[in-house]
Amino acid sequence: MHEFELAGSHYEMGRQYASLLKMNGTRKRQPGFVFTLAIRAVLDTCRTVAEAQTFLERIPHLQNTAFLVADAAGEIAAIDVSPEKVMTTRPADGFGFLANSYVSAEMAAYAPEEEVSGSRSRRRNIRNWIEARHEIGMEQLQCLMADPETGVCQCAAGSPGAADPVVTLWSWTALPGDPVLYLAKGTPNETGYEPAAL
């Protein structure tokens, strides 16, 4: 059993955690694994970050996707994939996050041409939070996730008049190895986090 996040939604995986963020757009498609099939295969066959990395580097990919993978041992890696190339980055400071973009600068040529609205500010807010070396506990993480000003929550009020506003529909947080995740069943700046057993 494994635990996996797919663009904010979870599939059960047990005591290991991995996350995936699907990026919008692709410059090229070729025969390969659609990201959901790659997720399922990682969940069914991989127990560690190293195993997930080996698998994702070995398979062909249909389109651009960025995976943030972590396991119960504390290992973490961002695995940026495109039909042409796969790059793995292990964060030097032990913190990993994705915000609708590749982590590796080498993957810029394969990134979508249009950035998802709000992604730059979300990356900046997370980086500022990490660099400030805030105490990192569940409550602090949930505050970061729920704060539309200095965190990562995107609410409709933040993009008034937008034809298709980008909105955080729900959010979850979890600690690797803990059989409980905390779920905000709506926009986290308006909905509290509640424990949910895996």
Q: What is the pTM of this model?
A: 0.71
Q: Is 27 strand, coil or helix?
A: coil
CA pair distance 153, 142, nearest whole angstrom: 10
Q: Which residues pair with 194 in a beta bridge?
A: 183
CA pair distance 11, 39, nearest whole angstrom: 10
Split at pLDDT 50, 70, 90, the class of 56 is very high
78 has a pLDDT exceeding 80:
yes
Which pair of structure tokens corresponds to residue 90? 């292990």
The number of C-alpha atoms within 13 Å of 94 and in the hemisphere containing its C-beta is 4
pLDDT value, residue 45: 93
Lowest mean pLDDT, pick from 29-43, 59-73, 75-89, 145-159: 145-159
Split at pLDDT 50, 70, 90, the class of 46 is very high
How many other CB atoms are there within 10 angstroms of residue 153's CB atom? 23
CA pair distance 186, 52, nearest whole angstrom: 30
Question: Tens digit of pLDDT for each residue in 106-140?
Answer: 888 887 777 767 777 888 888 888 888 767 788 88
Domain regions of the chain by residue span: 1-113, 117-198
The answer to whether residues 46 and 2 touch, using CB atoms and an 8 Å cutoff, is: yes
Which pair of structure tokens corresponds to residue 29? 């498609």
Question: Tens digit of pLDDT for each residue in 24-43?
Answer: 444 566 789 998 899 889 98
Q: Looking at residues 143-156, what average pLDDT do you find?
A: 84
